[in-house]
Amino acid sequence: MRLKSPTSTDDTALSPAEKPTSYRTAGSLGTGALLVVFGAIFLVAFGLGSEKHPVGAMIGLVMLVAGFVGGIYPAAFSYGEHLLIRNPFRRIEIAWPRVESITARLSTVVQTVPAEGRAHKFTIWAIPVSMHERRKADRAAAKKVRQVRAEASQANRGGTAGRGLGGAGYGRPPRVREDPLETMAFADQAVVEMKDRQRACSTPAEQSAPTKVLWTWYTLAPFVLSIGLLVAAVAGAF
């Protein structure tokens, strides 16, 4: 789900203060929300009901935490000066001059410029690569090409007939005005737009901020705690 286009219509550079483009999928948000809802139901029903079931309650707690940590929380934000990746347990901030490549093969991966002889790769959890979506986009693009060629061929035939009758101006092939990004799969759209952001960034590499990788304890701690409570419940500690 692309919330904002990173490129302006007049091809001017974007201001670093401009709002970022946010990337997250509707499927992940929906799945995460469902896990949170059903987890809360399990937690209340089995933990606060007349007949308490600790294992069921802890399963609900794990579902609730996992739904938020793995579905709702992950996102990627493309700013004018840097890329912010919010994975389930880590927060990664990479300045555009320090980005070596952005690829979307089996997963969307950002590779940094080698620093101190070593490059780093980071997977963007919020931008999954769907082969089904990519094949669907390829079929739609191929269909559009065939349609444009058929219209151009028909227009050319009409133009030939028009010139034979003394007409002028016929036979001009129609122009395609659609944005090619709209026919791409979500991950491919994100890669193209992020590369546009990177090209628009004019900050020299020497002046760019270093890459920051932080563990997000506010997501890691609840997840570990919920797993620990579930194991304890299965072991009969409650």
Please give the chain's pLDDT, 238 residues, in tens.
554 444 433 444 444 456 889 999 999 999 999 999 999 999 999 988 778 899 999 999 999 999 999 999 999 999 999 999 999 999 999 999 999 999 998 899 999 998 777 889 999 999 998 876 667 766 766 667 677 777 777 777 665 554 544 444 444 555 545 566 667 788 889 999 999 999 999 888 888 899 999 999 999 999 999 999 999 999 987 7
Concatenated DSSP letters for 87-117?
Answer: -SSEEEEEEGGGEEEEEESSSEEEEEPPBTT
Instruction: Compute the distance between CA of residue 212 and CA of residue 197 in angstroms, rounded to an integer.
Output: 19
Tell me the two tokens of residue 151. Answer: 């219209």
pTM over 0.85: no
Domain ranges in the chain are: 131-184
